[in-house]
Structure 1
Amino acid sequence: MQIYSLDQMLSLIKRGETFSGQLASSGCVITIQEYLPVVCTAIHAGHNLRPELIKLCQLSAEERYFEEDPFTDEVIASQPITLAGSDSRFEYDLNRPKSLSTYYKSAWMKQVWRKPLSAKQRAISHAKHQDFYRLYEALIAKLESMFGMVIVFDLHSYNYKRIEKATPVFNIGTSQIDMERWGSVVHKFQRELKTITLPNVEVDAELDVAFEGRGYLIAHTNARFDRTLVLPTEIKKVFMDELTGEVYPIVLDDLKLGLKNAFSATSAYFQRKLNRQSKTRSADMLSSAIEPEVLEIDAALFRLAQKVDTLKYVNPTNLAAERRRFMKAPSRFKPNFAYRQLPIDANEFKYRLYRLPIDNIADPALKQLYKDIVNKLGEQIDLLTSVGQEGFVYNSLRYHGRPDKSAIANAKFLLYAKEIPEERGESLDAHQVCEMMKQSAEQWQMRCKIGLSGAIVARAMVCSNPAQLAISTHAQFHESEVQRLIQHELGVHMATTLNAKQQSLKVLRLGLPGSTYTQEGLAILAELKAGFMAHSRLNTLAARVLAVDSMLKEQDFYLTYSYLIDELEMDKDDAFMTTARVYRGGGFTKDHLYLSGFLDMLHLSKTRSLDNLLVGKTSVQYLDLLDELVQRDWLVPPKYNVIPTSNLEESPSLNYLIESLRS
């Protein structure tokens, strides 16, 4: 951490420059990611004592730690401007006036010093106290001059086991707040705190129940500034064992995320109501500068995982030969698919994967995202290393899941409904389709390679690195189907591939957890929105759901194939390809996601914009975060977005059929 003198910090603040570092003359750590009218303080987070004072102190490190506010500096780290103390409150208490900040005799009924501190020792601590407040005053003065009104979240934590009465998880002290003037903001913050959810903790937020906010930081602010609101806030130590000091990481992570949202929502409300910035959103109260730690971890993760491509190693290399062998003796056929060799040492990969310093990320939502990516990549490696083996199907279930009762019911409903006819148009071969795809890509100004391939199971498939679209040489196409493929493969899969390359976060090229469900759902939604959906297309998706279900039950290629022909009346060629899709690798369950993903994207699109799901290989479970990151300029809006905003499908019968499906 960089060390600055007080004069250097004051000069940087005066010039409005961002910086992060420790004040040389004290234990104050300040971070200014961006100048915004919101400050978070954690003045009791520190534990350090000067060596000469350690010898004089009667309290053990554990006893001091018990009365300090550990982790409060971590809790506020996602905010644009933070001030945290790294020195112990037992040396000088920043929440008391300077003359009272050095405990002379006792604290909490315990003798602190073996003998009274000398005047020189107290003077050193008082100077640290004074420098903190000189820095704090300069910061608040700068922010008031820039924005008018300023809000300060003064964060503390408290021990509750020694308190006999029930106490809230969050307590806002209002004794020094002008409630007539600031009351609406106080109550807004209280409401936001009440929305926080913590595992196995009943969350409540009250005013003046455990503490009344009589500290010095708010008093000092009130005495010198008229346009700054300080919110003294105490957190019950539910995130740790207050007696042993053991932390509960899951609770702490959820607390960080909940408080990030509460701080930014309250700050945005403060801006709208008091600074007359009517269009301010929560994301506007967070820094637009990407954390360097995020970029470092993102780059390391991308370097490690960029060659992990499930379909490349799950698709059989001898599909055509196996198809010929099957047609000669279907009932005796046992798949003998061949696969590419995986050039990845699984143990070495996982070792490097789990050593990535994800905990260094300050933003709790980003930290959770990268944790999820790491865990999902671990599952993906297990899947790839078991291709062609008995354990593959179990790893596939862990990675992609299985169709539930609702998905199976939807599939049967579609397949057993009376067929809604479509005009299929003329028949086209792969070469003609390739030319049509090239024309559409040129029209949408997509720079990508489009060609033919005899080694893919799907009729068409987009690969990311390099960006290219492969058309199956074995397939025959009708004109209506080609229009759907254009929307599906180019309009979504190629668009998200190219959009991902525009982003600072490279993990959007890899695919977020749940990206298959979301991306395939979006791609099918694009077919519908463009007016090219057909009952036959929905039946194809439904057949895949039931094929996966059959594979899991029967574990017999011929039985699944026969089910598709006899029960679902599929064409023999289509039945073989559908069966091969679900038996490749040893039992691949991915295909059940298409139909349910489509239905969820369709229903969600009626209530909110899905545009930011196109910024890369995204997942709907992170849509709120993606919207926030676009608003904060961490991500750029999708350059390629050709999905129609309204539904162009004009068939009332087909619309009714789709609306009848369960989401």
Structure 2
Amino acid sequence: MLKLSEQEILAHIEAGECFECEVLDGSFNLKIEAYTPVICASVHSGHRFRTALIGNCALSEEERFYEEDPFTDQLIQSMPITLMARDSRYEYDLNRPIANCIYNKAWGKTVWATKLPNRERHESLRKHQQFYRILDALITAIEKQFGAALIFDVHSYNHMRRDDETPTFNIGTEQIDLDRWLPAVDLALRGLTNLELPNMPVSARENAVFFGRGYMISHVNSRFQNTLVLPLEVKKVFMDELTGEIYPLVMQALSEQFKQCLVDVSTFFSRRFTTKKRAKKTDMLAEKIDPAIIKIDRALYQLAKNLETLFYINPLNIAAERKQFFKTNGNYLPQFRYRQLDIDPYQFREQLYHLPVNTIRDPSIQSLYRDVINGLSEKIGLLVKAGQPEFLYESLKYYGEPSQSDVKNAQFFLHASSYTEPQIETVSTQGLLNMMRDAAKQWNMSCKVEANTKLVAKAMVSNSRKAVMIAKDLNVSLTEAKALVHHELGVHMATTLNAQTQRLKVFSIGLPGSTLTQEGLAILNEYRSGNMTLERLQGLALRVLAVREMLTRNDFRHTYSYLVEEHLLSQDEAFNLAVRVHRGGGFTKDYLYLNGVSKAFELSKQRDIKNLYVGKTGFDYLPVINEMVERQLVKAPAYYPSHLNAQIVNSPVLDYLMGCIHSNSRPSIRSKATIQRVAA
């Protein structure tokens, strides 16, 4: 990090330059990633105490730490303009006027065992004055550019020593002109109230425990007419206030939602009170990518770039086992063989969890990378157990199992009667290869299309090779062939190619839930391109029931017999589907196709889903992906289905059937939250 003098900092601000630095004396850090109408300050986040003062101080390090506001800098670090104190408030308190910014007593305790020498006192006062000169210059520049400024003055407070009920968040408004700024204050209170923290209620109140009588707001109010300071106290629910130990899960949830609240209030403030009337939420955040994200992303990609599940899960000896199975009239339990895993799972996990994700400033992006790392750890656990009895447990952990809603959806489709005549025209492997190549050329996709003798599925995409692979000896209807083109090329290859253009390779690795999302989008594309049939939906439904039977009996022979006898599949069809759900030792993935399309169909009716095509994404991450695209951290997708612009008209019967799918949306469990206004 740059170390700059006060004069250099002031010169950068006057020139309107973006920079990040530590002031030469180390008393605070200043970051300007983009000029917005908003400053975030944590004036009590510091713990540094000059060596020359330690001998004079009557308090231990632990006693000083208890009254400081640790981790408040983490709550604001994702915002573009931040001022973070590094010196302890026990040296000088930036939230007190210069005349009494050096404590004699604090919270009933004598601070100094011996009188401070004048030179040390003057040094502390100099740093106090320096901070406010730089703050004044920053506000001046922002007011000049935007007409008004907003300062989030963020603190934390100890609550265990109090007997009364205390709020999670407190905004002190005693020095705020509520006739003018009330809408922004109320929005902040409402936003804070809606935060959800693990295992605790959340409340936001005005003037409940603190009234906003600090020096920062007094200083700014006396010098600037168009700047709102919001003194915001956060109860130390994110840490053990006695020991100083942080609660990581609470802090993660708090940081992510606190950021969103700051952005919401900032956007409203900009539209209502500044000259930037058409501000978007992403205008309140920087477009410059955090170097920590790039560093972690590259390291993660090097670890996980070749970790393709199906490469290790697809059996090597399907043809031989098929022959033996039918030779015994289905009275044989296939003994599948799999590729050896060429990755040390312990070392892989160790390297994953050594990645310093906590250095990523933006809590939403940090959370995304944490989830990806956890998902990769679970995936390696799955691959390690391929061909072993424990594989089924790992599959359940990674993919889950069909819910009651999934089974009902499947049974609904299987009870539907066919409403179209069977198609006579069929397409062979070579015919489908030609169709894929023609479509790839038409859509300007640079990829391979080739036949493969070892596929369990009719077709699949190899992400690492940028290849669409078609099964040998294929014979499908023309509609099914078109559906495969839109499924494999229109979604799987599209997202592969889009991911390869991204600076962040996490979208090539795949976000948690990417299998569900990819298959859901792919089947939705079959439907909206006009190539969905009832038979296709019934095939997906059979996969759900096949997974259920596999989980119930865990016997390949039973699953095969069930499909032949109960659902009248041909012997080859039943064998292929039984292989799909029993490979590895019990592979539950296949229920996700129907589940995924139900989610994709429902989500597409509610919002624009185009940005799900930027790579191997997940439904749950669409909000953060949208934000990253708007901030230009991620490129908008170059390849995406044409139905996003204009949907092809389908059969009314098919539209009805698709509309009857029930999504497995989980209800939101919200914390009990309250908002109160208390008269000053």
TM-score by length of 2: 0.96
Aligned to 2:28: 28
> Aligned with 1:222: secondary structure?
helix
The answer to whether the 8 A contact 1:512-1:619 is kept is: yes
1:574-610 CA-to-partner distances (Å, cap 9, x unmatched) read 2111111111111111000000110111011111011
Equivalent residue of 1:130, what SS? Answer: helix
Structure 1 residues 269 and 546: CA distance shift in structure 2, 3 A: same
Q: Secondary structure at the match of 1:151?
A: strand
How far residue 26 of structure 1 moved from its aligned partner, in angstroms, is 4.5
Q: Distance in 2 between matches of 1:76 and 1:456?
A: 50
CA distance in 2, matches of 1:650, 1:468: 30
Q: Is the 8 A contact 1:26 1:131 kept in 2?
A: no
Match of 1:544 in 2: 543
Q: Distance in 1 between matches of 2:227 and 2:53?
A: 35
Distance in 2 (alpha carbons) for counterparts of 1:455 and 1:32: 55
Structure 1 residue identity aligned to 2:207: D
Counterpart residue number, 2:242: 243
- Could you tell me how far 1:202 is from its partner in structure 2? 1.1
- Contact 2:69–2:157 (Cα < 8 Å) also in 1: yes
**TM-fit CA distance, 1:145:** 1.8
After superposition, where does 1:197-596 map in structure 2 within 5 Å? 197-422=196-421, 424=423, 426-596=425-595
How far, CA to CA, are the matches of 2:451 and 2:205 in structure 1?
65
Task: Give the Cα separation in 1 of the matches to 2:26 and 2:340.
Answer: 58
The match for 2:633 is 634
Q: 1:458 to 1:377 in 2, by over 3 A?
A: same
Conservation of the 8 A alpha-carbon contact between 2:184 and 2:268: yes
Matched, 1:46 2:35: no
1:659 maps to a residue whose letter is G
Partner residue, 1:140: 139
Q: How does 1:150-189 map to 2 (within 5 A)?
A: 150-189=149-188
- C-alpha displacement of 1:405: 1.0
Q: Which of structure 1's runs of 4+ aligned residues deviate more than 6 A?
A: none
1:31/1:422 CA distance change after superposition, 3 Å: farther
Aligned match of 2:617: 618
Q: Is this contact kept in 2: 1:26–1:132, CA < 8 A?
A: no
Change (3 A) 1:26 1:507: closer
State the Cα deviation string for residues 428-448 of structure 1 (Å, max 9, x = none).
110111011100111111110
Letter aligned with residue 656 of structure 2:
Y
Distance, in Å, in 1 between the alignment partners of 2:240 and 2:144 is: 43
Aligned to 2:98: 98
Structure 2 CA distance for aligned equivalents of residues 517 and 125 of structure 1: 58
Q: Which residue of 1 aligns with 2:5?
A: 5
Contact 1:268–1:280, Cα closer than 8 Å, also in 2: yes
CA distance in structure 2 between the aligned counterparts of 1:572 and 1:434, rounded to whole angstroms:
26
**CA deviation after TM superposition for structure 1 residue 359, in Å:** 1.1
Per-residue CA deviation, residues 178-218 of structure 1 (Å, 9 max, x unaligned), is 11111111111111111111112211111111111111111
Q: Compared with structure 1, are the counterparts of its residues 423 and 274 closer, same or farther at alpha carbon in structure 2 (3 Å cutoff)?
A: farther
Partner residue in 2 for 1:112: 111
Offset at residue 374 of structure 1 (A): 0.9
- Provide the C-alpha distance between the structure 1 equivalents of 2:370 and 2:423, rounded to a whole number of angstroms: 46
Q: Give the 3 Å change call, closer, same or farther, for CA 484–263 of structure 1 in structure 2.
A: same
TM-superposed deviation, 1:323: 1.9
Contact conserved, 1:13 with 1:139, CA < 8 A, in 2? yes
* Cα distance in 2 between the residues matched to 1:332 and 1:339: 22
How many residues align? The count is 662
Deviation at 1:481, TM superposition (A): 0.4
Q: Paired residue for 2:69? A: 69
Query: What whole-Å deviation, never above 9, does each CA across 1:383-433 have from its counterpart, x for those lacking one?
Result: 111111111111111111111111111111111222232553511110111
- The change in CA–CA distance for 1:47 and 1:141 in structure 2 (over 3 A counts) is same
Secondary structure of the equivalent of 1:501?
helix
Distance 1:425 1:144 in 2: 73
| Residue 658 (1) aligns with residue 653 (2) | no
Which AA in structure 2 matches 1:399? Answer: Y
Unaligned runs of 5+ in 2: 664-680
Listed one character per residue, the Cα deviations across residues 358-397 of structure 1 (whole Å, up to 9, x for unaligned) are 1111111111111111111111111111111111111111
3-state DSSP of counterpart to 2:55: helix
Partners of 1:403 and 1:440 lie apart in 2 by 34
What's the offset of the Cα at 1:647?
4.2
Q: Deviations over 1:51-82 (max 9, x none)?
A: 11111000111111111101001111111111
CA contact (8 A) 1:45 1:72 kept: yes
SS of the aligned residue for 2:606 comes to coil
**Shift in Å, 1:157:** 0.6
- C-alpha separation in 2, matches of 1:170 and 1:424: 65
Amino acid corresponding to residue 12 of structure 2 in structure 1: L
SS of 1:155 mapped into structure 2: strand
CA change 1:636–1:423 in 2 (3 A) is farther
Secondary structure of the 2:643 match is coil
For the 8 Å contact 2:528–2:648, the answer to whether it is kept is yes
3-state SS in 2 of match to 1:332? coil
State the 1:121 CA deviation. Answer: 1.5
Cα root mean square deviation, aligned: 1.3
State the identity %: 46
Shift of 1:276: 4.7
1:21 Cα deviation after fit = 2.0
Contact map agreement 1:649 1:655 (CA 8 A) in 2: no
The corresponding residue for 1:599 is: 598
Contact 2:146 2:276 in 1 (8 A): no
Q: Distance in 1 between matches of 2:563 and 2:619?
A: 31
Query: Could you list the per-position Cα deviations for residues 485-516 of structure 1 after superposition, in whole angstroms to 9, with x for gaps in the alignment?
Result: 11111111000000101111101001111100
Q: Does residue 192 of structure 2 align to residue 193 of structure 1?
A: yes
Cα shift at 1:108: 1.2
Measure, in 2, the Cα distance between the counterparts of 1:596 and 1:41. Answer: 45
CA distance in 2, matches of 1:299, 1:33: 22
SS in 2 for 1:398: helix
- 1:499–1:640: 8 Å Cα contact kept in structure 2? yes
Q: Distance in 2 between matches of 1:546 and 1:540?
A: 10
The match for 1:121 is 120
> How far does residue 236 in structure 1 lie from its aligned partner after superposition?
0.9
**Alignment partner, residue 78 of structure 2:** 78
Counterparts of 1:457 and 1:267, CA distance in 2: 53
Task: Kindly indicate whether the alpha-carbon contact (under 8 Å) linking 1:529 and 1:643 is maintained by their aligned counterparts in 2.
Answer: no
Cα contact 1:422–1:534 (8 A) shared by 2: no
User: Which deviates more from structure 2 when the two are superposed, residues 196-205 or residues 334-343?
Assistant: 334-343
User: AA paired with 1:55?
Assistant: G
Q: Any unmatched runs of 5+ in structure 1? A: none
Distance 1:479 1:23, change over 3 A: same
Q: Which amino acid aligns with 2:33?
A: Q
The alpha-carbon deviation at position 572 of structure 1 amounts to 2.1
Post-superposition offset of 1:34: 1.4
Higher relative contact order (CA 8 A, sep 6+): 2
Name the SS for the 1:519 alignment partner. helix
What CA deviation, in whole Å up to 9, does each residue of 1:85-129 have, x standing for no partner?
1101011110111121111x2111110101222222210000111
How far apart in 2 are the matches of 1:420 and 1:585?
Answer: 37
